């Protein structure tokens, strides 16, 4: 009886999600196996060409580039975010919620505005340049905006709050007695951190890394605005197939590849987390 | 948490991270009141850029479109998401498949959902405009509303529902008079969050708004302004957009007490 009521309550929302998420995503999956029409459009014959094209050496350099930018951004975000989460978790318990709130707040403000702020800072006539010049430096500054570093800074800036949140959760649950035990047994502060705290909070780090990596590799806004359109991420490639090159089947294949990367990383992360928690249970 | 954490080091880390997070935003804020409008020199306090902003018909049109999209998609998402949350929590069997479907809109990369919806609408020959942006925004918004409401339902005392039924109330009556009043703070918190997300959402709107200026939203306008020549009005616009998000979020947090989703 309850299950029937629950079914009625869930139906409208599940119908909405089926119609406007599941079916469109299945459509994209199907599209990846069709041929591109001569004048754009889609020809309904089965082909594996698009999938093959994804692994074409022509695009390998774009993939490597976007993977390295996304990987670097995720790495920096995880290091900085973990340090911040650690410092928040070490603060007096009363102050932790407010610190966390302000750490996460920027994440919920407009993404474009946050990215634009970096244009203002890094611009040739921007704030950083004018501060440096006002300090008496006369020479030409290296180009800061429209570089790979600008893209990495933008990505780290935008996704850092998420990493702080992901790392804070396991850090705040950590039992202080375990670290104490390690020190009583003669472990130094660093050893305790490396051998006890870090492994026990690894799931948060993994979650943070995976999300920053996936969101970065599929991003097209930050490379377009801070990279000046010189750097193509997979996201820009997908964008181009749909809005300029008009090769939807290839765009669909690329986005399936994106989803595959995400699912692969998430599965790996779940697997690693389960193994870690399993190992912990065996220890006790 | 840990007594061995060096307080001075911790303070340094926090100061550095908060400076990194807040300096860029604060610069925009200050700049929006700069008479000259450029970051190179402070030429005096002025609200003239706000005046220019409100006189700009294009921006105001985009703002109105965003308001329509956000209000309508939030109302729809709040209804659907709340019903979904109650339905899921009422169920005795928890299915992994169901959880995945509900969780998916929150983690699927925007660009994938955006192109999926674009292909879907064009295949069905749907004319795209604000209505397609609205129905698309409901997809992720309902998932966020659902997650906020579900968090509250975890501590809900279901025996009052039984009591209500024993006293002869029908199911819709129980939902309306018993469940909803208890849930209301979480429902409002969820809808405020949905509203903020919808106001700020760019990628899905960009792909599903169709061609033409008629259905351009504020983030699309901001994107165009950043890409094709920055005018100082954008600082004023950024300040307003940011302030509104912060207010909505602070309200949502206060109502919800439990913290932001994911926390």
**Tens digit of each residue's pLDDT (9 = 90 or more) over B61-104:** 999 999 999 999 999 999 999 999 999 988 877 778 888 889 88
What is the rounded average pLDDT for all residues in chain B? 88
Q: How confident is the model at residue A279 (pLDDT cuts 50, 70, 90)?
A: low
What mean pLDDT comes out for the span A56-80?
91
pLDDT of residue B257: 64
Q: What is the pLDDT of residues A190-219, one digit of tens each?
A: 888 888 888 888 888 998 999 899 889 888
Residue B260 reports pLDDT greater than 60: no
pLDDT of residue A1: 52
Least reliable range by pLDDT among A271-275, B10-14, B79-83, B124-128: A271-275
Q: Kindly determine whether residue B17 and residue A103, on different chains, have CB atoms separated by under 8 Å.
A: yes
pLDDT of residue B117: 96
Residue A169 reports pLDDT greater than 60: yes
Please classify residue A89 by burial: count the beta carbons closer than 10 Å to its beta carbon, then call 0-12 exposed, 13-18 middle and 19+ buried: buried
pLDDT of residue A124: 80
Contacts of B135 in chain A (CB under 8 A): 20
Residue range of the domain that includes B252: 52-256
According to CATH, what is the number of the domain A54-280?
Answer: 1.10.3720.10
pLDDT of residue A281: 54
d(CA B240, CA B222): 12
Q: Does A153 touch chain B (CB under 8 A)?
A: no
pLDDT of residue B223: 92
Global pTM reads 0.88
Provide the CATH number for the domain around residue B100.
1.10.3720.10
| DSSP line for B159-208 | HHHHHHHHTT--HHHHIIIIIHHHHHHHHHHHHHHHHHHHHH--HHHHHH
**Residue A253: closest CA among A28, A46, A56:** A28
d(CA A94, CA B101): 37
Q: How many domains does chain B have?
A: 1
Q: Does A224 touch chain B (CB under 8 A)?
A: yes
HSE of A35, CA atoms in CB hemisphere, 13 A: 8
Between residues 237 and 256 of chain A, which touch chain B (CB distance below 8 Å)?
Answer: 238-239, 242-243, 248, 251-252, 255
Report the percentage of chain A scoring pLDDT > 90.
Answer: 37
Q: How confident is the model at residue A30 (pLDDT cuts 50, 70, 90)?
A: very high
Q: Kindly determine whether residue B5 and residue A86, on different chains, have CB atoms separated by under 8 Å.
A: yes
**Chain B residue with the nearest C-alpha to that of A118:** B24
What mean pLDDT comes out for the span B120-140?
95
Between residues 38 and 77 of chain A, which touch chain B (CB distance below 8 Å)?
Answer: none
**Chain A residue with the nearest C-alpha to that of B89:** A6
Q: What is the pLDDT of residues B180-237, one digit of tens each?
A: 888 899 999 999 999 999 999 999 999 999 888 889 999 999 999 888 777 788 899 9
Look up residue A112 and give its two tokens: 């474009």
Between residues 71 and 110 of chain A, which touch chain B (CB distance below 8 Å)?
Answer: 80, 83-84, 86-91, 97, 99-106, 108-110
Q: What is the pLDDT of residues A13-26, one digit of tens each?
A: 999 999 999 999 99
Residue B173 reports pLDDT greater than 60: yes
| From B115, B196, B223, residue closest to A242, measured CB to CB | B115
| From A28, A172, A225, residue closest to B226, measured CB to CB | A225
Q: Does B186 touch chain A (CB under 8 A)?
A: no
Q: Is the dihedral of CA A31, A33, A37, A38 positive or negative?
A: positive
| From A3, A86, A112, residue closest to B92, measured CB to CB | A3
Q: What is the pLDDT of residues A216-270, one digit of tens each?
A: 988 889 999 999 877 778 888 898 898 888 889 999 999 998 889 888 888 888 8
Q: Answer whether residue B263 is part of any domain.
A: no
Q: Answer whether residue B1 is part of any domain.
A: no
Report the percentage of chain B scoring pLDDT > 90.
Answer: 54
**Residue A110: closest CA among B199, B134, B64, B233:** B199
Residue A43 reports pLDDT greater than 90: no
Q: Answer whether residue B47 is part of any domain.
A: no
Is the reported ipTM for this assembly greater than 0.85? yes
Domain ranges of chain A: 54-280
What is the rounded average pLDDT for all residues in chain A? 86
d(CA B34, CA B56): 19
Least reliable range by pLDDT among A144-153, A274-283, B86-95, B103-112: A274-283
Residue B2 reports pLDDT greater than 60: no
Residue B42 reports pLDDT greater than 70: yes
pLDDT of residue A79: 96
Q: Answer whether residue B37 is part of any domain.
A: no
Report the percentage of chain B scoring pLDDT > 70.
Answer: 95
pLDDT of residue B220: 94
pLDDT of residue A103: 93
What mean pLDDT comes out for the span B16-42?
89
């Amino acid at each position: 009886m309850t299950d029937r009521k629950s079914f009625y309550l869930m139906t409208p929302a599940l119908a909405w999600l089926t119609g406007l998420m599941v079916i469109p995503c299945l459509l994209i999956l199907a599209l990846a196996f069709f041929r591109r029409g001569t004048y754009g459009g889609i020809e309904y014959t089965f082909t594996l060409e698009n999938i093959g094209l994804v692994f074409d050496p022509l695009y390998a350099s774009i993939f490597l580039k976007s993977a390295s930018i996304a990987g670097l951004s995720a790495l920096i975000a995880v290091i900085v975010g973990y340090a911040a989460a650690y410092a928040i978790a070490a603060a007096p318990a009363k102050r932790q919620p407010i610190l966390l709130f302000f750490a996460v707040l920027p994440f919920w403000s407009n993404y474009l505005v946050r990215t634009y702020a970096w244009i203002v800072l890094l611009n040739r006539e921007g704030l950083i340049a004018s501060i440096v010049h006002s300090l008496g430096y006369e020479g030409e500054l290296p180009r800061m905006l429209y570089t790979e570093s600008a893209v990495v800074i933008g990505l780290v800036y935008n996704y850092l709050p998420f990493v702080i949140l992901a790392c804070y959760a396991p850090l705040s649950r950590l039992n202080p007695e375990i670290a104490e035990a390690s020190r009583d047994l003669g472990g130094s502060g660093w050893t305790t951190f490396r051998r006890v705290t870090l492994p026990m909070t690894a799931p948060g780090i993994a979650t943070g890394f995976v999300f920053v990596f996936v969101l970065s590799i599929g991003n097209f806004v930050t490379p377009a605005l801070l990279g000046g359109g010189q750097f193509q991420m997979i996201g820009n490639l997908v964008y181009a197939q749909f809005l300029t090159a008009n090769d939807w089947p290839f765009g669909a294949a690329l986005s399936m590849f994106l989803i595959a990367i995400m699912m692969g990383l998430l599965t790996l992360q779940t697997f690693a987390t389960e193994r870690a928690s399993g190992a912990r249970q065996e220890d006790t | 948490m840990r007594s061995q954490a060096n307080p001075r080091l911790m303070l340094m880390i926090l100061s550095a991270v908060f400076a990194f997070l807040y300096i860029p935003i604060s610069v925009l804020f200050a700049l929006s009141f700069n008479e000259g409008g450029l970051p190179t020199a402070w030429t005096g306090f002025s609200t003239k850029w706000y005046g220019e902003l409100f006189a700009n018909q294009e921006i105001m049109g985009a703002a109105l479109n965003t308001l329509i999209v956000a209000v309508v998609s939030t109302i729809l998402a709040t209804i659907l998401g709340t019903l979904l949350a109650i339905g899921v929590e009422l169920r005795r069997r928890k299915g992994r498949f169901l959880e995945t479907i509900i969780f998916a809109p929150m983690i699927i990369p925007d660009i994938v959902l955006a192109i999926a919806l674009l292909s879907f609408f064009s295949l069905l020959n749907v004319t795209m405009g604000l209505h397609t942006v609205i129905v698309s925004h409901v997809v992720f918004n309902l998932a966020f509303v659902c997650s906020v409401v579900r968090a509250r339902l975890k501590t809900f005392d279901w025996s009052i529902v039984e009591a209500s039924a024993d006293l002869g109330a029908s199911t819709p009556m129980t939902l309306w008079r018993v469940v909803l009043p208890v849930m209301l703070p979480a429902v409002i918190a969820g809808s405020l969050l949905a509203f903020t997300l919808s106001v700020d959402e760019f990628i899905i709107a960009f792909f599903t708004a169709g061609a033409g200026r008629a259905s351009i939203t504020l983030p699309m306008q901001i994107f165009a302004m950043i890409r094709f020549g920055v005018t100082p009005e954008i600082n004023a616009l950024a300040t307003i957009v940011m302030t509104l998000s912060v207010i909505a979020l602070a309200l949502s947090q206060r109502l919800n007490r439990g913290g932001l989703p994911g926390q």
